[in-house]
Amino acid sequence: MQEKIKIQIIEGDITSSNAEAIVNAANNHLWMGSGVAGAIKRVGGKIIEDEAVAKGPIPIGSAIETTAGNLKAKYVIHAAVMGQDLTTNEKYIRDATRSVLELCEKLNLKSVAFPALGTGVGGFPLEECAKIMINEVLNFNAKQVKEVYFYLFGNQAYKIFQEVYQQLSK
């Protein structure tokens, strides 16, 4: 029987994660602006953005990896959840989440930390995002990935992800 991925929901800064990879909610041209991307670039260094931009543009819904600069992680995985218009939708978030998990498998990673994709600059509703992302993780047929962390900014986001996870994991 397939082992389920262990999910942990954490209120805090994704740049402090001990996961092997942390996920950047990216635009498809992979330049790093504000929000999670800005924090990753600030802590990890501009090298992350330089490497990402050199690999772009990529299709919305896909993901690529870069080194993690000064972060504890081995990789930053850039999940393209929006285009240059900085808007997102359910399909983009679902596809990007799955693309990250598939890339983690390809890279033989056991752990990955996600932010709430598309809920910052993209303006996507937190509860819908939580349902999409948690469902993707719960239904993903993992061979390598053992742990997924959701790092959430603020107590409201944390509570929403906690509630959705409790509902979906019954």
- Domain of residue 146, CATH code: 3.40.220.10
Provide the domain limits for residue 70: 6-168
* Chain segment 129-158, per-residue pLDDT in tens: 999 999 999 999 999 999 999 999 999 999
Using a pLDDT cut of 70, give the percent of the chain over it.
98
Contact 78, 57 (CB under 8 A): no
What is the C-alpha separation between 119 and 93, in angstroms, rounded?
10
133 domain residue, yes or no? yes
What strand order describes the sheet that includes 147-152? 6-11, 147-152, 111-114, 21-27, 75-82, 63-67
1 domain residue, yes or no? no
73 domain residue, yes or no? yes
102 domain residue, yes or no? yes
Instruction: Give the total number of structural domains in the chain.
Output: 1
| Adjacent-strand bridge partners of 147 | 6, 111
35 domain residue, yes or no? yes
Residue 170 has pLDDT above 50, yes or no: yes
139 domain residue, yes or no? yes
Q: Which two tokens stand for residue 26?
A: 């990216």
* Chain segment 20-45, per-residue pLDDT in tens: 999 999 999 999 988 899 999 999 99
**Per-residue pLDDT averaged across 85-91, rounded?**
94
